[in-house]
Structure 1
């Protein structure tokens, strides 16, 4: 009846979260119904799972649409790589992952406090019988493997978002034991770069074999524009100012004096540059610094009106 209250409850399918709730209003007054208005409800209090919406003082017919979206699995930006280890030493396997693009987009647009994704990690070792077993305590993006634990490994990445749980498995990587005199050049995880910001990262040099070593960027390597690899007295350096975002795969070839060779494979993740932009009166605030408006190329005898001081 007009002026009453109604409660609606909507439950998602498995691994789905509420994207939005829309309404179509039709006036209940006499003679109405020739048109309808549409709107949406604030669901910033949504925390996942079933959602309950209460309408108070209902004075018109309403059609509600609860739109749920199936959560996509997280994505792996950089896979763990095959590596070698000598007796008495250890190596590091690593994986770089992020939430699904659709989840990141929804998270960026949502004002709800609960709309924040979480990634968890679990490394597994593949036994001789082909069965996988979780590595105890291996719950980060990196895994240290001792020489006595050489074998085949992979990582399972789990994404938690608004009550949904999705997973993805990395490629398998093999850790092999080698002779002490063998040349070893293993890849290590690179820190992420930011587009249009200066970047510099060091790469661990090769060991074993016969020095000196010669390094060169491998064929078909894909470094972002503005970034280069150098090998000099400072060491092995990846540096520059990347012009674009994405995941860039590249390899570095190493040849020792005796002719032994090894290639290490890397992935450089470049994320967008995020700035804090706000308006205050006639100024805008860029990363906390007030910026006054400036004009160039104004014709002679042209009157320039100053912006209103009324806050936007």
Structure 2
């Protein structure tokens, strides 16, 4: 049996969900994989939040150096978000030989190569499956299962917040403003929803996914971006009359002229599988030269 000490940096929506998974499913992981996973530390300024989740007081830290210097910790999970403090903490963890797991799509989209070099220099693991499409294992599929294919295109709904909003507007005829408030109350949208509703979040994910799919760096600056803040119920109603559903799509194609990548609202025919992806769920359609079309589907917003 192998012991694995884990530190979680940040106990917000995603961090709290991560802690719950690792503690609730501890016995299952131990039985199936013979790995004794134990959360040895959480880095969290809000002590009451950590205690409410069941974290032992002696495992609550506010100093990153105490975490990365702890020999009992093998894996550091970064769920703080952003590119400031989170980047510094990841660098410190990697430099101390800790394997890092992160859900930080903005950081990966902007600093992937830089962080990967640090990981290799210190023989540390660096994983970011959770950075794209929620619980859907899309990165592992691109890295492993699809390696025999030349991928030609990616098309999908990769932001759960905007899909929740557009689905509610479509199904119930509600306004953008009222549904946004509901999304925030349900934990599907942040207090400041700009990254989601303006398409930044989807752009970060598309940069990562298209870079992996096409084996070439697709920078954010080359991705066209448009959010959903100007969408109203009239737009959706006209689409319905013509047999279309409005979705925020992320699309990337590998063409002879280069990679074309864009994020924007688009009408999807009602007979297209993507039109039925509703609420906080995500779906990605991949087209390969050998496998043709496949679709991956799963939850894309929320803590679990």
For this structure pair, what is the TM-score category when the shorter chain's length is used for normalisation? under 0.3
Report which structure shows greater RCO (CA 8 Å, sep ≥6). Answer: 2
**Between structures 1 and 2, the one with greater strand share:** 1
The two structures have a TM-score, normalised by structure 1, of 0.22
**Bigger Rg, structure 1 or 2:** 1
User: When the two structures are superposed, what TM-score results if normalisation uses the length of structure 2?
Assistant: 0.22
